[in-house]
Amino acid sequence: MTSELRHARLLEALDHELSSARRTFPDFNTGHEGYAVIQEELDELWEAVKAKGTPRFRLADEALQVAAMALRFIEDLYADEIDRMHD
């Protein structure tokens, strides 16, 4: 698999995770709230990493959840700043 195809598939998986979270949970209202959710997902990834025999697909899934929440943090709270940085 080419790196471009792998990248596209990862972005597709990230988009799916983000869409699922948006259907289930409301937008972040504050940076504190977003940080807490990211920290919770990161803690779950850390627990999976520390556990012996955690399947690789679970580690990947937990990492996708961290990435999705980080992206959501930016989208919900700071998308305007990102737009301004890239204008």
Number of domains in the chain: 1
Which residue in the block uniquely carries the two structure tokens 């799916």? 16
Asked if residue 75 has pLDDT above 80, the reply is yes
Tell whether pTM > 0.85.
yes
Could you report the per-residue pLDDT of 20-58, keeping only the tens digit for each?
Answer: 999 999 999 999 999 999 999 999 999 999 999 999 999
Kind plus residue range of the DSSP H or E element containing 71: helix 56-73
Structural domain of 80: 3-85
Element (H, E) at 59: helix 56-73
| Distance (Å, whole) CA 15 – CA 61 | 13
